[in-house]
Amino acid sequence: MLKHRCGLARRSWDRFGFVVLIAVPVIVLQVLPGPHTLDDAYITFRYARNLANGLGFVYNPGQPVLGTTTPLYTLWLAVLSMLTSSSDFPWLALLTNAVCDIITVVLLRRLFRALGLSPMAAAVIAIAYLSNPARIGVALGTMETSVDVMCIVVALDAYIRRDRPTLAALFSALAVLVRLDSVLLPLLLAAHSVLAKRRMPWREGLIFGIIVGPWLLFAQAYFGSVIPNSVVAKTHAYLLPPNSAFTSILYYLITRSSIDPMRWPLWLNGLMLTGILIAYVVGARMILKIQARAATLVAYAPLYAAGLSLGNPFIFVWYYLPLVLVVDSVCLFGVWTILSHTRSVVRPVVVGALMAGSLIVQFSGLGPFLDKWPVNLQHRELLYRRAAAMLHDAIRPGVTLAASEIGVLGYDLGKAVIIDTVGLVSPQAIPYLLKTPLPGQPVYAVPDEVIAMLKPDYFVTLEAFIRPTLLESPDFLNTYQLIGTIDTDELGSRGLLIYRRMNVR
């Protein structure tokens, strides 16, 4: 009887206790601080708000341009807004992310338990991702990454642990609709089915088509393209040196910092990279011995890194998280395997020390904790919020406002017609994007032609964005009046500048 009760207690802990354990830090670190929304997220929120208000899947009413790469997240937030009668999209996104992160961590633990790890070791891997400061920061930033990673983990869990390829196909399709870079997942699942199982995944392909197909048809008919305009704009705006993405990925995996990747000496970078590679190979080999279907997991990280490297985009920190989740999990599995012949008390001590060291490295790469919480660009967001407050009374329906960072301005000034000088929601700006970056910055000057052609009523920009172009243009200086300056040195600027066209009253 006692043994039976102990078994019930263990199963109850396995089902519910761990959920409660991880829910507490998620609430404390991700919910109680409130949204720390990033500029990109505000673009999605304006789409969702317009959709919920019956204005269509548009950023500017009457202009069907696909400027978001996360259609499913947009649709979810619009539906959630209608169901809850709430228009506070940052909070809706924050709570969504918190729930998705809890699901991800719970499934991560179950997956690695099924791969042969002890309850403690599996919990360590799950908690390693839970405690990742970049993950917390992106979730606080109310980006779609938490939903994307959850869909990826659910799909991998369904395929590896439960051997349910149709369920895996369903969630891999949802992951693609959350974020386009997740297209690697269904390709991996299909390849494994063909190469390892020797069967064509017809049913899985049908499920994938049923989920993704309607969106593709709608996007082609409504927007005129299935490729988001934001992807096209970024390929024109971000002209990076060859192998830039590859080196960024390597440095991020080693130093866990996207702020100053060269801050470590070369020998230390090499040592850390060697350790990561050894741990990953050992972990991958052991995982594959236990479960052949886990090839989809261990192959995900190198193929994801290879895909980004070949595409060579400018990589924002939220694109690292699916990679980091797999790399850290497999590496910790490898470390646990290497230590398998040591005394049982040694393993948790060593792995705990590695986790603590990793957290110290990650937080140190972010600068002062309260000043530079992971990927939190609140300095810039708050500047644009002040600019939006200054323009609030002047913005009437139909008034045009141009900016090169449109998120906060577009969300706070919902009546304005927004012109994006980078082209994310304004395709007419793309042909004029300059190809010469500002020295030392991954940002580009605002082209004279965009402002001259589109003639916005108001124009808000960091001074650095127009220093080599519009500030040297007599036509611009004779047409636009500087009506406000907000002090800042962001990106080397001498203020956030607010302009009004001369004949606008």
391-405 pLDDT, tens digit each:
999 999 999 999 989
- Token pair listed for 170: 């369903």
Q: Which of 340, 359, 360, 321 is nearest to 283 (CA)?
A: 340
For the segment 327-363, what is each residue's pLDDT rounded down to a tens digit?
999 999 998 888 877 766 676 777 777 777 776 666 6
pLDDT at 429 over 80: yes
Rounded distance between C-alpha atoms, residue 374 and residue 135, angstroms: 8
Model's pTM, two decimal places?
0.91
- pLDDT attached to residue 251: 87
CA distance 82 to 51: 10
Query: Using one digit for the tens of pLDDT, what is the confidence trace for 200-210?
Result: 999 999 999 99
Worst-scoring range by mean pLDDT, 115-124, 190-199, 286-295? 115-124
Q: Token pair for residue 386?
A: 């002040």
Q: Cβ(317)–Cβ(134) under 8 Å?
A: yes
Q: Are strands 458-462 and 496-501 parallel, antiparallel or unpaired?
A: antiparallel
- pLDDT attached to residue 45: 97
49-65 pLDDT tens trace? 999 999 999 999 999 99
Are the C-beta atoms of 33 and 25 separated by less than 8 Å? no
Rounded Cα gap, residues 403 and 252, in angstroms = 30
pLDDT at 436 over 70: no
Read off the pLDDT of each residue in 60-86 and give the average, rounded to a whole number.
95
Q: Which residue has the higher pLDDT, 148 or 341?
A: 148
pLDDT above 90 coverage of the chain, percent: 60
Sequence-ordered list of residues with C-beta below 8 angstroms from that of 86, at least 6 positions apart, any chain: 80, 92
DSSP string, 182-251: GGHHHHHHHHHHHHTS-S--HHHHHHHHHHHHHHHHHHHHHHS-SS-HHHHHHHHH--PPTTHHHHHHHH
Q: What pLDDT sits at residue 440? A: 47
Instruction: Return the pLDDT at 368.
Output: 45
427 with 229: CB under 8 angstroms?
A: yes
- Kindly report the number of other CB atoms within 10 A of residue 224's CB atom: 12
Res. 191: pLDDT tops 60:
yes
How many CA atoms, within 13 angstroms, populate the side-chain half-sphere of residue 167?
12
What confidence score (pLDDT) does residue 134 get?
86
Q: What is the pLDDT of residue 10?
A: 59
Question: Averaged over 458-468, what is the pLDDT?
Answer: 91
State yes or no: pLDDT of 125 exceeds 60. Answer: yes
Q: Is residue 375 helix, strand or coil?
A: coil
